[in-house]
Amino acid sequence: MHVVLLVLISLFFCCKAYTNELNLFTSRHYPSDLILFEKFEEKTGIKVNLINAKSKVLEKRLLDEGAKSKCDVLFLADAGALYSAEKKKLFTKYNETRPLKLIPSSLKNEYWIGVTKRARIVFYNPSLIDYNEIKNFSYEDLSNSKWRKSIAIRQSNNIYNQSLVASIIEHKGENFTKKWLNKLVKNFSRKPQGNDRAQILSVAAGESKLAIANTYYYALMLSGKKGEEQKKAALKVKPIFPNQDGRGTHINISGAGILKFSPNKKNAQKFIEFLLTKDAQTLLCNSSFEFPIIENVPTNKLINNLKNFKEDIFINVSSYGKRQAQAFKLMKKAGWN
C-alpha cells in the first residue's frame, strides 16, 4: 500500500487551534477514505484537514514538529508502523468508550486501535497443485524441501513480510525462526521482487507454485479494478488460509491513534469512534477490500467469500512492531534480499 494518491491537501501553519477542526495524517490512499472523511464532517460539523504520505514521512514530520505539531490523529496501514510511532512517544492514550471496547484485545493496545484488518495468506495454482496436497497447510510448511524453488514472495524490506516473520518469532522463538528462514529462502522460485499482486501473477503464470500475499490484493485483482488481465490471473489461483488446525492465520491491521500534542483531542476521539461505526466500516472495506474490524458489518461479495477463517488471536499485533527489527536481521542473514 505504497502509492500516494494525495500530495498535500492542507497545511497546518496556523498557530491557533479550532475546536471544529481535526488534523489528520494518514498513509492510506483510498478515494473512499476521502468520502468517509466528508461524511464525518457532515455528521459532526468538524472540518478534516488531511495530509497523506508514507508512514515514515509522517512520523519524521511529527518528530520534527514536536510540541508545535497541530496534528490530531495518525492513521497507518500496519501494526508495525503504529508500534514505531508509539515507541517514539507520538501517541497519547485514548478513552476506551463502548465502541472501542468492541475491538478484540489482540488488535489494539492502550495507544492505538485497529480499524480494518487483513490476512497474509498463501495462494496456489490448482492446475499445478491438488487441493488435498495443501489443505492443511501451515506457515511452518513453507520451509519444507517439497517446495524447493516454488515460492514467490516480496523482498525482506517489505513491512508485511517482516510482520509475518515477527509473528513466527513470537510463536516459535528465534532459534526455530532462524532455521525456518534458512530453509525458506531455498524455496524461493525467483529473487524476491514486486508487490503482492506480482506474486499472485507469478503463480497464475505457472512460474511459481505458491505465493505469499495479503488477501485484499487478491480481491482487488478479482474486482477488475486492475484490469482484465489481472482479473483473469486471479481467477487461476486459489487462496489457502494457513494454520487452520492450530493457532489460525496471521492477521494485520490498519489502525489509528490520538497524538500526544493534539490540540483537538475530543474531536480526535470522536473521529476514531466514527471509524468504528457500521457505515464507516462498510465504506472503508468495500474500497480497500480489507476485512471490517467489528462483527456483522455488511461488505461486498469478494470480501464475504474470503472472511470465514480462523484468525490468530493468541498474540497482540503490537508484537510485530516489537519483533520487526529482529525479524529483518534474521531475514537478511538467511539471504532474503
pLDDT tens for residues 232-246? 999 999 999 999 999
CA angle 127, 128, 133 (to 5 degrees): 110
End-to-end CA distance of the chain: 20
How confident is the model at residue 19, as a pLDDT?
55
pLDDT of residue 11: 39
Average pLDDT (45-72) is: 96
**What pLDDT digit, counting tens, does each position of 281-298 carry?**
999 999 899 999 999 999
Q: What does DSSP assign to residue 95?
A: P
| Average pLDDT rounded to a whole number, residues 148-160 | 97
For the whole model, what pTM was predicted?
0.90
Quick one: pLDDT at residue 8?
39
Q: Are strands 210-214 and 113-124 parallel, antiparallel or unpaired?
A: antiparallel
pLDDT tens column, 245-256? 999 999 999 999
Domains of the chain: 21-117+252-302 (3.40.190.10), 119-249+318-333 (3.40.190.10)
Return left, alpha or beta for 3; rule: phi > 0 is left, psi -120 to 50 is alpha, else beta: beta
pLDDT category, 30, cuts 50, 70, 90?
Answer: confident
Please determine, for residue 6, whether its predicted confidence score (pLDDT) is greater than 90.
no
Q: What is the pLDDT of residues 191-231, one digit of tens each?
A: 999 999 999 999 999 999 999 999 999 999 999 999 999 99
DSSP element (H, E) containing 155: none
Task: Measure the CA–CA gap between 322 and 259, rounded to whole angstroms.
Answer: 20
